[in-house]
Amino acid sequence: MPVPARSSSAACGEGARQQVNDQPGRPSAKLTFEPESTRYDYDRDAFILVATADGVSIDCAVSRGALEDYSKTKCGSDPMMLFREWEYPMRELAAAKHTRGQFGPRGSIVVRSGDGL
């Protein structure tokens, strides 16, 4: 089973913004996640994250299936508990898709099961 790069508390700090990659809209831009805005959407069965790059808000989602595939663990009754444990690697996957220009509807970034996890 893969091991998280670091715990969510080490990755985010309490309420801290986290910069992940170096090339979202332009080479000098940073993709910055808003940790306090992360939530689980039961209707979409996905974790919703908000990020910014060059001052532009970017909606990101990580499917429950993607998290379970990557972590080799089922979410159980509290999906956010598992997400917090694997938050940093999930953000890295979203940032990599952003860097490669792999956008979903309306310019969003969606990490799905089968995205080469």
pLDDT digits (tens, 9 = 90+) for 2-45: 444 433 333 333 333 444 443 334 433 678 898 788 999 999 99
User: Of residues 99 and 84, which shows the higher confidence score?
Assistant: 84
Report the candidate in 36, 60, 41 with the shortest Cα–Cα distance to residue 49.
60
The CATH fold of domain 8-111: Double Stranded RNA Binding Domain (3.30.160)
71 vs 99: CA distance, rounded Å: 23
48 vs 116: CA distance, rounded Å: 20
For residues 49-76, give the mean pLDDT.
92
Residue 19 is predicted with a pLDDT of 47
